[in-house]
Structure 1
Amino acid sequence: MRESYAGFRGMVNRTFAASTPAWTDRPEAPAGAPNVVIMLADDVGYSDIGCFGSEIPTPHLDQVGREGVQYTDFHVTPLCSPTRAALLTGKNSHAAGVGMVTNIDPGFPGYASELPENQSTIAEILRGNGYATMSVGKWHLCKDTDLSEAGDRRSWPLQRGFDQYYGFLEALTNFHHPHRLMEGNSVVDVDEYPEGYYLTDDLTDRAIRMIRESKAARPDKPFFMYYAHGAVHAPLHAKREDLLRYRGKYEAGWDRIREERLARQEELGVMPPGTQLPPRNYEDDLDVCAWDELSEREQLLFARYMEVYAAMVDSIDQSTGRIRQALEEMGEWDNTIFLFLSDNGASREGQDLGTTAYFRHTQDSGAGQDEDWLAYERDLIGGPRTWPHYPRGWGMACNTPFRLYKASTYRAGHQVPMVMSWPRGLGQPSGTPLRRQYTHVTDVVPTILELVGVDAPAERHGRQSEPLDGSSFVPTIRDGTAAATHGDQYQECNGNRGFRRGKWEAVTNREPEGPFRSGPERTGLTPLSQDKWELFDSEKDPTQCVDVAEQYPEVVEELKQAWDDAAWRNRVFPINEGVGLAHLRRPSEDESLSRPVTILPGTPTLERYRSSRLIDQRSFTVELTCTVTGGDQGVLFAHGGQEGGYVLYVEGGRLHFEQNAFGRMIGLPAVEIPQGEHEIAVEVLNSGNGVWDVTLRLDGVAAANGDGFLAISGWLPFQGLDVGRNRRSPVSWDVYERHGAFPFTGTLGWVRWVPGEEVPNAREKRIAKAIEMGMALE
């Protein structure tokens, strides 16, 4: 036996000596390559960070700016999805296929609602050069039709270069009870969140865990972390302890806060001395009244909204501090490039009065300030029972000193705070950390690649890539007096247009979006060619107060032509100008989502978009079989959560059908349900007048009926279909307080949604509702 083993060992040794190893070399990062953290906030205004003039304490972000650099003329796109596409690819948003939020799918290259297959993301580039890549938070870079477990994942995080992902794929979610979290390519299975759960803390915990895991396994391997906050996008949700710190801080109102922020900006050097504060926004449907013109009740209510918002900004800074502390404990902070920015300006989405029910504006729910005031009196605003957003007067204040809001091509829409540091690589920049050079979000990728020492690939998956649109701003990091590296830049959002060349800025403001009408007079909007272009001298007038278009008509014409050339080059056309075209066109596969569906007990929540197609602008029936014995009770089916929805449950031997009409609870009379096997049907008649007539049938007999239920439409409810329980955020908070997710204890056979006839003019109504929802999901 020993001789046999010795012979075998000799044969193996000779074989290895004569062979070339079969493995291939894996990519390694350059020696000493830095870690990279990009932290993206959502809807944070220009003046919301302490070092940009805010009264909200943000010591950790301020420290990054002091130790590194603070860019005071940094620009993104006016909307979140387009900024994310530009940030990750270095391409202009339309050229990256994301010219609008990814809730449209018209089939046009500039509005594909997914990242292009020939362009690499920064995650793919860095992973291909030896980095561990990880992401947490909001994605919002894939189509509605691809959100489900059966969707195409090609524009999901793992398929776009990230080794790990934890977060949510959509525009927004509930911070106390997220409607749908993803881990990698899979939905997180959760029925109820623990007491005190808060999304920002969860995301930060996961980011730190990912970093620690990676560094423990391979200390020499650098990492790239893309942390995309859900904050401060609606709903405005905050931890109780954070919210209480801001009680009473905003009762002076938005006019005073604006003035105080500009004064601090001048003191800090963020804005030049004598900067002119524009008048309150006055444009149609964008206007803001004087704070002193509000009633006392309105002032108290509106101040509470801003308290919650401030607490959310605070939570972002806390997250920054926790990540920094973790990196310092690992000895990694000094060799980490940390970059913080916002994806667009502060928002107008709460309209003029604000709301405790974010989607109420899109539904004509009949609920309004009475419900908002009741929520104020019960101290519910910011907690899990409301979906608040502030009035747009606070958005104006958050964007100090600029005009208008997110979605605008005026500066407030796209000029955002940015701070950046890298202690080992940049050291302490000499002189002031302020950098006043014009810089754009497309510059981030080439800048990071230069600092890391790698090149952008010429192709992706065998397809030739286009050159990056951004330029590295490394020269301005190292030298505050260096010339800006970014040249001309166009802006476009819903037909709003802008172009910057040198000191000149040309801007348009489109009229409010009108209803879709077929035929030659399909919209009340003026043609693009008739839009009024304003012109501003950014050196003399950074707040765009003085329109000099009439003094320099030749400059206006030059920039208009330059915008047109850039638009054709970047696939901006056909432009999404509010006529409904982008919402009208949908791929044929979308029709299959309106087919009936049978859901068996134990099936996870059916994803939001598929669920909404079953009820939008149509009548429908929900059928089910069940067996009730003894004291059986629980939810038979639920569609939605505290943002709005409807639920059928058994309690106390009775059937209960209730609707959460965006803050207003409506119900049918309870129906006795005997022990035994039953067939139940909920028939919903939608005649197109904005209400549902509901009939509850028990074993074929009409047992209860009622009218006046809200006809939920668009892409709502935001939480999808559940059978046998109401997972995560509940439709009925009272039921939740008594029973939690309230699983049905009887035997549930199946539940079937059967879409019925569409309402008259369903096509036009659906387009109008899609436009409203698009504005809500800005």
Structure 2
Amino acid sequence: MDEGARGYERFDGRVGEFTSQSEPSWPARATAPAGAPNIVVMLVDDLGFSDLGPFGGEIETPVIDRLADEGWVFTNYRTAPMCSPARAALLTGLNPHRAGFGYVAHIDPGYPGFACELPADAPTLAESLRAGGYATFMVGKWHLTLESRLHDGADRSSWPLQRGFDRYFGAMDGFTSLHHPHRLVQDNSVVDVPEYPEGFFLTDELTDRAIAMIDELRVNDRRKPFFLYYAHTSVHGPIQAKAADIEKYRGRYERGWNALREERFARQRARGIVPPHAALPADPIADGDRIPHWDALTDEERARFARHMEVYAAAVDEIDQSLGRLLARLDELGERENTIVVLASDNGGTAEGGPGGTRSYFSQFGLHGAVPDGWVSDVPRPIEDIGGPRLFGQYPTGWARVSNTPFRSFKGTTYEGGVHAPLVVSWPAGAASAGIRDQFVFVSDLAPTLLELAGVGRPARWNGAEALEIDGSSIVDVLADRSAPGRERQYFECIGRRALVDGDWKAVSPVPPSAAEGAAGGVWELYHLGSDPTETVDRAWQEPDRLRGLAERWRQEAWRNTVFPLDDDGTLHTVRPDTEAALSEPVRLVPFRPPLERFRSARLTVLRSFEVHVDLLLEPGAAGVIVAHGDQGGGYLLALEDGELLLGYNAYGAMRRARAAAPGPGLHEVVLRVRADVGLRWSFAVDVDGAERVRIDDLPMLLGMAPFTGISVGYDYGGPVDWDLHEAHGTFRFDGGRILAVDYLPGERSPEDPTVLRAIAREVQDLVD
């Protein structure tokens, strides 16, 4: 039955026993139904299907193992191929494109399916639960706001508090460093942390904050149910973990990825996670051309690659620890029994690290287009630094294939490796019929399921309009009955890659079609998932009529879900609205404030020439950072140290420095001149009172998401640009004079900048007129 017409059903004791009520007209906030359960949704970033113990993994996850033993384990759960689309679908019950997220929140081409903003007329799960009497909390990764609206002067209508959460703490961006977060937000404001304490680790901080939110609620209201959305930043790159947890896994991955993949697959078959007839895809179709043979590697490569996986395993272990701490607190409060816990991944494991992994994450992440010959994508550094604060790393493709066992391909694709993810649901008070479920469930089914279990209806109208009809369907019947039917059909799309699951059949188009081929054209493959769940036998040549029908059905679904236009030529990444032009205007920065937000900072510097004009009033012995932009993933800084002027440049982990005698006491104008050269290179020079003092030429330009930490004035915030300087002085706060002014003056754009600013502002004004 259509969700908009069915009313809602209230939980009345246990799964399968509900009483129907008509949907109410919500006041500002109602009283939650008596006995309504708490709800905890823990979403993990880029976690592969087999990484957790219940799904065949060897990583130690005892808390999640217990959760699976007492609850439901879903073996046929699918999600979107990327993180923002999955999160939008989870929180709205809409399909990703109808929720505005055909891609992650780093594009803005002007099309409804790629708006990268949740629709105003689609109440989120948090908004519905809050209206129904719940307290609503969130910690962790948001990634549902356009990056151009993350800065401190932005419209906050798409920030967590404006989309239904009473409290929020975390990283609004797509990821961050776990040791030195680039930017944290509490509720609606940036957290001013001049320097992180020794041993700070974000996963621990998020867990502390989540527990504190629950405690602060219970001090004031012992009965109100809560919804906690805990969105981990792990295990998205840069993959990092605490030293003690990394040490726990030392030596466990020296046998290599092929051996681990076979062992995980054997456990999956033994546990019924995959059917007995499932086959493990072999190298010719399972990205063997991208994965070196373990036995052919050098000793150094095997040690380095094993270290990458030790760090990844430690990070997954830490996620389990965080859940354990949270559940232990609920036990102490006597509330674990009536708390629903949902644990899921947002997409499959990622091959971003490439065949050899990387210790220089930003040298290859977030880049669109080719880089010049000789580009260094893995700056050599000691392998013991992998996982720690000095290095931004990502594990190799071979380990990503292990993560996605038994499926082929990775995050960002529409093969099962990109969309088939782990899902565990636990609810001791309502788990009379728990166990393995092999029904097809999609991420948009989670919101209507949780609302039904909570006894809270989804508002029929929202923000003065009729609420968008949801696409998901409640799976309460599936929880109660292992023979109940699951979802029949679902479309998928990511960067022009297409797929449609329809019953036991799946059509996959791994590359975008050309304009001449049309939306249903191009190369399609056909798999019978009932007999071949791991997509090993392409039946396209055997059943061409069936395949054409599925491709046409995909086209129809795509029209209904605002999937078009397909990104068949990369323009969705290069076209942006001219309303962003203001972010590239000159700016004067204030010393010692929280750093300028990442995207705002990037508009001043990335893929362009620029200048930084600084007015300094120096006293004898003046020292400290004048300006810093970036972190250990890449950046630059200007400082005074030991009577010298220091220019430092971190090229994705390779440090370059130039020094000259510092100017004496008095008033000085210091100008940092950065010239964009051909071949994605930069030249840096520093003038003091009109005379050049230091320069560094032929530097690899910082691209994509680098510099990641925004511009700070008077100290080096967060992850340091120059680790040696950090070890000697910490954040190295400027002292011995005054920084009177710091002006960033953006210059000419690099000829290799593909960005096209579309005149959205003028077109909108024309419509108004």
Larger Rg: 1
Letter in 2 for 1:385: R
Check 1:196–1:497 CA distance in 2 against 1; reply closer, same or farther (3 A cut). same
Shift, 1:696, TM fit: 1.3
Q: Is the Cα contact below 8 Å between 2:67 and 2:426 reproduced in 1?
A: yes
Check 1:752–1:185 CA distance in 2 against 1; reply closer, same or farther (3 A cut). same
Identify the residue that residue 771 of structure 1 maps to in structure 2: none
SS at the partner of 1:627? Answer: strand
SS at the partner of 1:207? Answer: helix
**TM-score normalised by L of structure 1:** 0.91
| Equivalences for residues 583-732 of structure 1 within 5 A | 583-732=573-722
Residues 528-561 of structure 1, C-alpha deviation per residue, up to 9 Å, x if partnerless? 5552211111110011101111111121111111
Q: For 1:631 and 1:156, how far apart are their aligned partners in 2?
A: 44
Identify the residue that residue 763 of structure 1 maps to in structure 2: 754
Q: Is the Cα contact below 8 Å between 1:355 and 1:368 reproduced in 2?
A: no
Residues 2-54 of structure 1, C-alpha deviation per residue, up to 9 Å, x if partnerless? xxxxxxxxxxxxxxxxxxxxxx8951000100000000000000000001000
- For the pair 1:327 / 2:305, whether they are aligned, the reply is no
Q: For 1:298 and 1:439, how far apart are their aligned partners in 2?
A: 40
- For the pair 1:580 / 2:570, whether they are aligned, the reply is yes
Letter in 1 for 2:741: W
Q: Is the Cα contact below 8 Å between 1:38 and 1:340 reproduced in 2?
A: yes
**TM-score normalised by L of structure 2:** 0.92
- For the pair 1:387 / 2:378, whether they are aligned, the reply is no
Letter in 2 for 1:541: D
Identify the residue that residue 133 of structure 1 maps to in structure 2: 136
Identify the residue that residue 563 of structure 1 maps to in structure 2: 554
Shift, 1:602, TM fit: 3.3
Identify the residue that residue 772 of structure 1 maps to in structure 2: none
Residues 484-514 of structure 1, C-alpha deviation per residue, up to 9 Å, x if partnerless? 2x22100001111100111001111117x9x
Q: Is the Cα contact below 8 Å between 1:367 and 1:663 reproduced in 2?
A: no
Unaligned runs of 5+ in 2: 1-26, 759-769
Letter in 1 for 2:127: E
Shift, 1:631, TM fit: 1.5
- For the pair 1:752 / 2:753, whether they are aligned, the reply is no
Q: Is the Cα contact below 8 Å between 1:89 and 1:445 reproduced in 2?
A: yes
Q: For 1:254 and 1:284, how far apart are their aligned partners in 2?
A: 13
Identify the residue that residue 8 of structure 2 maps to in structure 1: none
Q: For 1:711 and 1:367, how far apart are their aligned partners in 2?
A: 10
Q: For 2:29 and 2:123, how far apart are their aligned partners in 1?
A: 19
| Equivalences for residues 390-539 of structure 1 within 5 A | 390-427=395-432, 429=433, 433-484=435-486, 486-510=487-511, 530-539=521-530
Q: For 1:280 and 1:670, how far apart are their aligned partners in 2?
A: 55
Check 1:281–1:551 CA distance in 2 against 1; reply closer, same or farther (3 A cut). closer
Q: For 1:452 and 1:281, how far apart are their aligned partners in 2?
A: 47
Check 1:41–1:561 CA distance in 2 against 1; reply closer, same or farther (3 A cut). same
Identify the residue that residue 352 of structure 2 maps to in structure 1: 349
Identify the residue that residue 382 of structure 2 maps to in structure 1: 375
Letter in 1 for 2:566: I
Residues 95-127 of structure 1, C-alpha deviation per residue, up to 9 Å, x if partnerless? 001110010001100000110000000000000
Moved more, 282-291 or 107-116: 282-291
| Equivalences for residues 115-514 of structure 1 within 5 A | 115-280=118-283, 287-361=290-364, 362=367, 368=376, 371-372=379-380, 374-376=381-383, 379-427=384-432, 429=433, 433-484=435-486, 486-510=487-511
Check 1:529–1:88 CA distance in 2 against 1; reply closer, same or farther (3 A cut). closer
Letter in 2 for 1:110: G
Unaligned runs of 5+ in 1: 1-23, 514-522, 768-778
Q: For 1:365 and 1:58, how far apart are their aligned partners in 2?
A: 43
SS at the partner of 1:116? Answer: coil
Identify the residue that residue 11 of structure 1 maps to in structure 2: none
SS at the partner of 1:63? Answer: helix
Letter in 2 for 1:222: P
- For the pair 1:549 / 2:550, whether they are aligned, the reply is no
Check 1:283–1:249 CA distance in 2 against 1; reply closer, same or farther (3 A cut). closer
Q: For 2:378 and 2:269, how far apart are their aligned partners in 1?
A: 40
Residues 705-754 of structure 1, C-alpha deviation per residue, up to 9 Å, x if partnerless? 23122222344211111111111111000000011110110211111111
Identical residues among aligned pairs (%) = 46
SS at the partner of 1:468? Answer: coil
Q: For 1:366 and 1:187, how far apart are their aligned partners in 2?
A: 39
Shift, 1:765, TM fit: 10
Identify the residue that residue 36 of structure 2 maps to in structure 1: 33
Identify the residue that residue 17 of structure 1 maps to in structure 2: none
Identify the residue that residue 762 of structure 2 maps to in structure 1: none
Candidates 101, 105, 110, aligned match of 1:102: 105
Letter in 2 for 1:444: L
Q: Is the Cα contact below 8 Å between 1:640 and 1:731 reproduced in 2?
A: yes
Q: Is the Cα contact below 8 Å between 1:286 and 1:348 reproduced in 2?
A: no
SS at the partner of 1:545? Answer: coil
Identify the residue that residue 736 of structure 1 maps to in structure 2: 726
Identify the residue that residue 19 of structure 1 maps to in structure 2: none
SS at the partner of 2:622? Answer: coil
Shift, 1:466, TM fit: 2.0
Q: For 2:711 and 2:483, how far apart are their aligned partners in 1?
A: 57
Identify the residue that residue 80 of structure 2 maps to in structure 1: 77
